[in-house]
Amino acid sequence: MTTYFTSDMHFGHANIIRFCDRPFGGVGHMNARLAELWNDTVSDDDTVWVLGDVALGALDDSLSWIARLSGHKILVPGNHDRCWAGDRGLRKGSPEARAERREKARARYLAAGFAEIHDDPGRFRIAGIDAAVSHFPFTGDSHGEDRYVDYRPADDGGWVLHGHVHDTWRQRDRQLNVGVDAWGGRPVAVDRLAALVDAGRRDLEPLPWDEPETPGPS
């Protein structure tokens, strides 16, 4: 049994192909390849922490891919997830109406295949230290100035496992980006992240996407 981390799959989101230069001809190709890479990496006995931004587009169709993914799946919502605490649709109306919409949104993701949803997962023990776990890094963004500052973890001098920045970096100082755009499209095992923590503070570029070799002429 292995624990993995990932984020920012963006199932169903055609524009992410262009935004992050993903090597796909269309959203159907991307969805299928993301699922293939996941299931080639993760077994049913494994646990995967998904640090947000699961699906966009036609949400029911996009979320349907979650049930096809192996393992025990835990969601830490990001800013593109309808069950995220900061979602504008969940902050309107009376407290009762907000609570009802929030529960309906959470139920939608649980029904899609997530076993758990953790709005504030706290910390995760890795390489002998307790790292923060969040969709957001301490600082930095994929769109210029830092967004969603109120939802970011406090930088206490430790490490953070995060997503949100896509292909901006794989490691920046004490920030480890677990997103698919940094790890060749695959979830990353916790022992690989622990090795980065052990190696210390540095900056690392994203890995290339893991694409099958094109067969030559027979």
Question: In this structure, is residue 218 part of a structural domain?
Answer: no
Rounded distance between C-alpha atoms, residue 171 and residue 197, angstroms: 10
Question: In this structure, is residue 217 part of a structural domain?
Answer: no
> For the domain that residue 31 is a member of, what is the CATH number?
3.60.21.10
Question: In this structure, is residue 78 part of a structural domain?
Answer: yes
Give how many domains the chain has, as a whole number: 1
Quick: pLDDT tens for 137-150. 999 998 888 999 99
Per-residue model confidence (pLDDT) at position 67: 97
Place 46 in a pLDDT band, splitting at 50, 70 and 90.
Answer: very high
Question: In this structure, is residue 99 part of a structural domain?
Answer: yes
Question: In this structure, is residue 212 part of a structural domain?
Answer: no
173's tokens = 């100082």
Question: In this structure, is residue 206 part of a structural domain?
Answer: no
Quick: pLDDT tens for 91-128. 777 777 777 888 898 999 999 999 999 998 889 999 99
* 205-213 average pLDDT score: 86
Share of the chain above pLDDT 70, in %: 96
Place 217 in a pLDDT band, splitting at 50, 70 and 90.
Answer: very low
> Higher-confidence residue: 153 or 101?
153
Question: In this structure, is residue 207 part of a structural domain?
Answer: no
Question: In this structure, is residue 215 part of a structural domain?
Answer: no
42's tokens = 């993760």
From 117, 120, 93, select the one nearest 103 (Cα to Cα): 117
Domain that holds residue 163: 3-201
